[in-house]
Homo-oligomer: A and B are copies of this chain.
Amino acid sequence: MVVVLAGGVGAAKFIEGVVQVVPPASLTAIVNTGDDFTLHGLTISPDLDIVTCTLADLIDRQQGWGIAGDTTNCMEWLARLGGPSWFKLGDRDLAIHIRRTALLRDGHTLSQVADSFRQTFGVAVRILPMSDDPAPTHIFTSDGELHFEEYFVQRGAQPEVRGVRLHAAGLARPAPGVIAALASAEVVLVAPSNPIVSVGPILALPGVREALRATRAPVVAVSPIVGGAALKGPAAPLMHATGHEVSALGVARAYADILDGIVIDLVDAALAPAIEALGLRVAVTDTIMRGPVEKAHLATTALALALGGS
């Protein structure tokens, strides 16, 4: 059994690689829900949807999110009627949010909804939201305290970041199955996702870090920082503002207590000795997931590093 700690686009692509080398049904993705928020009265779960729809091959590959070929007729009228329009929602995409909201209101849990949706879409990978409880990630910025999506999407990651508040570190509990999946895993992979706001919330949930420290499974991360910059998203300002070096070494340090190894990019090869000095094994390879071949190669590298000795 392989468990992947997952954020959004980078994680979804990474999992596409993993399912090429291990049976999809043996894989569990534990997905960040710190980005979840309510808009138009609808519960939106960006990372869950990106992971589910990517694995279902429904995703808009150009954007990395949204449904391929989707229309935006509803959104255009929502804007016309004075609704917020900063978060783009396609018509098919909206069905997911409407249905999720209705099911949650009817008393279903987010885990149940996520499981139902991935089955509807024919995804064999088990998809677990990190928590069934609200656990929003807020960013303290020069514009005040903002939900992550307000900071990232609405304001284009422009405000200066001063800190991060992970409500996952509060009253939220890991979703049913999360701790058990970590305890019974043979390998745990940390996807190349934002360490602060994608993987950070999962690790902040009570018991998760402890389970990762305690598990006998090797834990291997893939650095989302390549050449001192994030491939996508606002990892750099968020790492910087929370006291982390914006580098593969910074990523390794952030995860040092839970990791056995880390995969870093060729351009960061020079950082390997410093990472090894933390007590971690390092694999150096091309981590840019241009297509299926690179995805499978990255997954193989991570699994090989995990299973190469522990």
Contacts and interface: CB of A to CB of B under 8 A. Distances in A.
Interface in A89-130: 90-92, 94-96, 98-99, 101-102, 105, 116-117, 120
Nearest to A72: B91
Interface string A64-81: 000000110111111011
Contact of A81 (B77, B78, B91, B96): B96
A291 interface: no
A207 interface: no
Contact of A117 (B78, B81, B96): B81
A308 interface: no
A41 interface: yes
A232 interface: no
A84 to B, nearest CB: 9
A95 B96 CA distance: 15
As for how many copies of this chain the complex holds, the number is 2
A98 B80 contact: no
Contacts of A78: 95, 98-99
A83 interface: yes
Nearest to A83: B99
Interface residues of A, number: 29
A82 B74 CA distance: 20
B98 A83 contact: yes
A231 interface: no
Contact of A77 (B75, B77, B92, B102): B92
Nearest to A42: B98
A155 interface: no
B80 A120 contact: yes
The 9 closest A-B pairs by CB, nearest first: A77-B95, A73-B91, A41-B102, A81-B99, A74-B91, A91-B91, A78-B95, A77-B92, A74-B95
Interface of A: 40-42, 70-71, 73-78, 80-83, 90-92, 94-96, 98-99, 101-102, 105, 116-117, 120
11 contacts: A40-B98, A41-B41, A41-B98, A41-B101, A41-B102, A70-B73, A74-B95, A74-B98, A78-B95, A82-B120, A91-B94
